[in-house]
Chain A
Amino acid sequence: MVASNHISSAFDQDLKEMSDKITKLAELVQKQITAATQSLATLEDRGLDKLIKRDKKVDTLEAEIIEQAVQVIALRAPRAEDLRHVLVMQKVATILERMGDYARNTANRTKVVLVDGANLVPVSKVENMSNLLLTMLENALEAYHTGNRDLAVEVRNADVEIDKIHTALHKEIIQAMSTNPDGLVSGVHLLFITKNFERIGDYIAGIAEQVYFLTEGEFIDNFRPKADKTSWNA
Chain B
Amino acid sequence: MFDSNEKSPTVGNIFAENPKISARNVTVYYGDKCAIDDVSLDIGTGEVISFIGPSGCGKSTFLRCLNRMNDTIDICSVAGDIRLDGEDIYDPTIEVVPLRARVGIVFQKPNPFPKSIYDNVAYGPRIHGLAKTKDELDDIVEASLRRAGLWDEVNTRLDQSGTGLSGGQQQRLCIARAIAVSPEVILMDEPCSALDPIATARIEELIFELRNDFSIAIVTQSMLQAARVSDRTAYIHLGRLIEVGEPSSIFTTPQHDLTNSYITGRFG
Interface residues of A (CB under 8 A from B): 3, 5-8, 11, 77-84, 217-218
Contacts and interface: CB of A to CB of B under 8 A. Distances in A.
A5 B261 CA distance: 9
B265 A80 contact: no
B253 A6 contact: no
Contact of A11 (B253, B254, B265): B265
Nearest to A76: B265
Contacts of A7: 265-268
Nearest to B227: A79
Contacts of B263: 79-80
A217 B253 contact: yes
Given A5-B266, A6-B265, A11-B265, 13 more contacts: A6-B266, A7-B265, A79-B251, A80-B251, A80-B252, A80-B253, A80-B260, A80-B263, A81-B260, A82-B264, A84-B252, A217-B252, A218-B253
Contact of A8 (B224, B254, B265): B265
Contacts of B223: 79
A77 B223 CA distance: 10
A11 B266 CA distance: 11
Q: Bin chain B's interface residue count.
A: 10 to 19
B4 to A, nearest CB: 13
B166 to A, nearest CB: 27
A77 B268 CA distance: 19
A80 B235 CA distance: 14
Contacts of A81: 260, 264
A23 to B, nearest CB: 22
Contact of A78 (B253, B260, B264, B268): B264
B221 to A, nearest CB: 14
A185 B252 CA distance: 52
A168 B213 CA distance: 66
Interface in B22-42: none
Interface string B190-234: 000000000000000000000000000000000110000000000
Most B Cβ at <10 Å: residue of A3, A11, A79: A79
A100 to B, nearest CB: 31
A213 to B, nearest CB: 11
Closest 10 CB pairs of A and B: A217-B253, A79-B263, A6-B265, A79-B251, A82-B264, A5-B266, A7-B265, A80-B264, A6-B266, A79-B264
B226 to A, nearest CB: 11
Interface string B243-258: 0000000011110000
B223 to A, nearest CB: 7
Contacts of A83: 252
A3 B264 CA distance: 10
Contacts of B267: 7
Contacts of B268: 7
Contacts of A82: 264
24 contacts: A5-B266, A6-B264, A6-B265, A6-B266, A7-B266, A7-B267, A7-B268, A8-B265, A11-B265, A77-B224, A79-B223, A79-B252, A79-B263, A79-B264, A80-B251, A80-B253, A80-B254, A80-B264, A81-B260, A83-B252, A84-B252, A217-B252, A217-B253, A218-B253
Contacts of B266: 5-7
A3 B260 CA distance: 12
Nearest to A218: B253
A169 B223 CA distance: 55
B26 to A, nearest CB: 28
Contacts of A3: 264
Contacts of B254: 80
A78 B260 CA distance: 12
Contacts of A78: 264
Nearest to A4: B266
A81 B254 CA distance: 9
